[in-house]
């Protein structure tokens, strides 16, 4: 019996378990054939859901509504504070309310192309297929989407598409959708089907005979270590952009739950696929600890430009039109300011590298609404973006109605994550990963407004069925918190916490994290090279080697101790950062957000290598632990394309 890690991956063949038949009918055929647990038997099953963002809250609510008993975990003081609340611009769905000819196939193709042909076709088609149901669900919950004058739901465009398929609630779409999911979750709490454990952090996944059977969690207020047994575990713990230290993610966002699963044997796929969002408020100082997103929706009406004269110190309103360089409009005339995020971010970096950047650091470009305010009127712009304009003014002191916003790319979203099959199950049986915590839908670059779509598709319409199928086809065995596997996992968690508290160094976790983030952003950010990645790996291994000598954590384990929480999360980020650079070094091509300087076209665009790298690479954590020189092992899942033709992306 193995309680510590899933069976070794020697000779592992990654089986995505994609159903047979035409892609248009795969999901329907799967639903028609999947097994069910009888309604009277469902209360006898317990499911752990980690995370209460859009994916986690919707999954917990849906599983509870089916009649299962659910334990829902979040480290925030309420599920409403999950980071999904920060999403601004909208959610995609192929409903074609704008009567432009949008369809499931068009959304599917845009997503595959936007991800630079590095995602699994069957999963992406299903995502596009169920997208229409998400909007109906949200409207039924009372989500206040913007509407046209006649009452029809309003839509707008986002980057990388030529249709208006993005539904929105001004600049607060994530918040409103999360409130809808939260209301469904709380209904199941009231029904007695869901128990929410807020202010709890999951610190390990418990395996019995190689199968996920529960978690170890720490009460962040009292410090108590708790055991929670389950028949299935669903991870919905979000992404890992905070590995860069400065990102648009909430300060508490972390990779710990997913990384503990990785240490237990779940493979981690495509970690180098990270997204740098083009429209964020630039960093203002060395000791800043957070960056702020400005919604991509602003690019519908804002024009991005820099002065044509290098190091131009004039105020933006004093620079005449002929001296403004609208670099996205000139380089990508078909899509203009709505080019995909990876392309728009690199274009901004190139402009700043040429000395055309603005602001005190030279790392900024203008996002200007002057023309559309004149054309549409101030009231029309306020109706779409007022809260975003107010937020920008509160942070910077500048009024976007009077002067252009200043923006610059920043780490935002991660397309990599735990490897999952078509049923969203990881390589550990009984362990599922949904939303941003898995790798499955976005390839090497996520299109704007597709994160909310994937989170709610997984949580409302996919995981409730695939988890049920897992339970129905697996003999039920009674495992509770007294099993030796829980004692072993708890001892491991306690031992690690005690080791953190026993450190005698002089550096706070935040100081080490800042050092790590600077390495990652500089050497594994928008531009990567063999030299930069090799150097980064050496530097990260140096941080890992010095970590226990340099770290200092005060306080006790049996109390509220944010420094202890931070140390644990940082410990996982350091290992992940090394893997990200290993993955980026191995992938000798440019695709989407992964841009290798050695692999670009003459005009500066990404050059893929489809013969060698039309794959998803899933990495195995070494069973014996990381050596000083690493030890992660890659496993490749070939990506096959039958519905789309591999081609060089063009948005010109």
Q: Do 36 and 458 contact (CB within 8 A), yes or no?
A: no
36: helix, strand or coil? coil
Strands 268-269 and 417-418 turn out to be antiparallel
35 CB neighbour count, 10 Å cutoff: 12
Strands 69-73 and 46-50 turn out to be parallel
Got the DSSP string for 538-604? HHHHHHHHHHHHHB---S-TTS--HHHHHHHHHHHHHHHHHHHHHHHHH--S-BTTB-BTTSB-TTS
641: helix, strand or coil? coil
Nearest-angstrom CA–CA distance, 230 and 352: 52
Of 120, 165, 331, 341, which residue is the catalytic one? Answer: 341
Nearest-angstrom CA–CA distance, 396 and 46: 48
- The count of residues in the chain is 652
Q: Do 619 and 632 contact (CB within 8 A), yes or no?
A: yes
| Helix ranges restricted to H, 444-561 | 451-456, 463-472, 484-501, 509-523, 530-550
| Helix ranges restricted to H, 77-231 | 104-114, 121-141, 173-191
Q: Do 606 and 592 contact (CB within 8 A), yes or no?
A: yes
Got the DSSP string for 350-362? HHHHTT---STTS
Can you give the C-alpha Rg of the chain in angstroms? 24
494 is catalytic: no
Active site residues: 341
């Amino acid at each position: 019996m193995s309680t510590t890690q899933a069976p070794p991956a020697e000779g592992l063949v990654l089986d995505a378990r994609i159903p047979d038949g035409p892609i248009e009918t795969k999901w329907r055929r799967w639903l028609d054939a999947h097994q069910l647990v009888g309604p009277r038997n469902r209360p006898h099953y317990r499911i752990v859901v980690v995370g209460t963002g859009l994916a986690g809250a919707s999954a917990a609510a849906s599983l509870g509504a089916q009649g299962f008993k659910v334990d829902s975990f979040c480290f925030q003081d309420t599920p409403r504070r999950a980071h999904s609340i920060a999403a601004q611009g909208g959610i995609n769905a192929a409903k074609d309310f704008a009567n432009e000819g949008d369809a499931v196939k068009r959304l599917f193709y845009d997503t595959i192309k936007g991800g630079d042909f590095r995602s699994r076709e069957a999963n992406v088609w299903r995502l596009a297929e169920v997208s229409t149901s998400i909007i109906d669900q949200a409207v039924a919950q009372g989500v206040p989407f913007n509407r046209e004058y006649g009452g029809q739901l309003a839509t707008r465009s986002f980057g990388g598409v030529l249709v208006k398929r993005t539904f929105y609630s001004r600049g607060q779409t994530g918040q409103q959708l999360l409130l809808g999911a939260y209301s469904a979750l709380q209904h199941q709490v009231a029904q007695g089907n869901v128990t929410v454990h807020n202010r709890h952090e999951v610190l390990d996944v418990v395996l019995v005979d190689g199968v996920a059977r529960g978690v170890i969690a720490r009460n962040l207020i009292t410090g108590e270590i708790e055991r929670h047994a389950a028949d299935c575990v669903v991870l919905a713990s979000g992404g890992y952009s905070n590995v860069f230290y400065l990102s648009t993610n909430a300060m508490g966002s972390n990779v710990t739950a997913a990384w503990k699963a990785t240490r237990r044997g779940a493979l981690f796929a495509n970690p180098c696929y990270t997204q740098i969002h083009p429209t964020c408020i630039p960093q203002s100082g060395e000791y800043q600890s957070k960056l702020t997103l400005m919604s991509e929706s602003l690019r519908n009406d804002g024009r991005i430009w820099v002065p044509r004269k290098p190091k131009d110190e004039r105020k933006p309103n004093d620079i005449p039109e002929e001296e403004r360089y609208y670099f996205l409009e000139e380089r990508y005339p078909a899509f203009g300011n709505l080019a995909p995020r990876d392309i728009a971010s690199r274009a901004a970096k190139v402009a700043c590298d040429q000395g055309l950047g603005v602001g005190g650091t030279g790392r900024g470009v203008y996002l200007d609404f002057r023309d559309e305010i004149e054309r549409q009127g101030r009231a029309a712009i306020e109706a779409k973006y007022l809260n975003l304009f107010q937020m920008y003014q509160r942070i910077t002191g500048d009024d976007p109605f009077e002067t252009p916003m200043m923006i610059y790319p920043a780490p935002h979203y991660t397309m990599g994550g735990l490897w999952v099959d078509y049923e969203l199950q990881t390589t550990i049986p009984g362990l599922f990963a949904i939303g941003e915590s898995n790798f499955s839908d976005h390839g090497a670059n996520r299109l704007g407004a597709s994160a909310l779509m994937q989170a709610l598709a997984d949580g409302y319409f996919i995981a409730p069925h695939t988890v049920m199928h897992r339970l129905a086809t697996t003999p039920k065995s009674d495992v509770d918190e007294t099993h030796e596997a829980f004692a072993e996992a708890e001892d491991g968690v306690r031992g690690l916490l005690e080791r953190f508290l026993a450190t005698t160094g002089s550096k706070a976790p935040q100081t080490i994290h800042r050092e790590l983030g600077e390495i990652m952003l500089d050497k594994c950010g928008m531009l990567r090279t063999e030299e930069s990645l090799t150097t980064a790996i050496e530097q990260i291994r140096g941080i890992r080697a010095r970590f226990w000598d340099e770290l200092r954590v005060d306080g006790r384990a049996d109390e509220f101790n944010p420094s202890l929480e931070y140390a644990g999360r940082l410990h996982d980020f350091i290992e992940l950062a090394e893997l990200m650079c290993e993955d980026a070094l191995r992938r000798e091509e440019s695709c989407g957000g992964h841009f290798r300087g050695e692999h670009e076209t003459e005009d500066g665009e990404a050059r893929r290598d489809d013969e060698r790298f039309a794959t998803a690479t899933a990495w195995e954590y070494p069973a014996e632990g990381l050596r000083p020189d690493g030890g992660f092992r890659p496993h490749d899942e070939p990506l096959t394309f039958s519905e789309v033709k591999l081609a060089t992306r063009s948005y010109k």
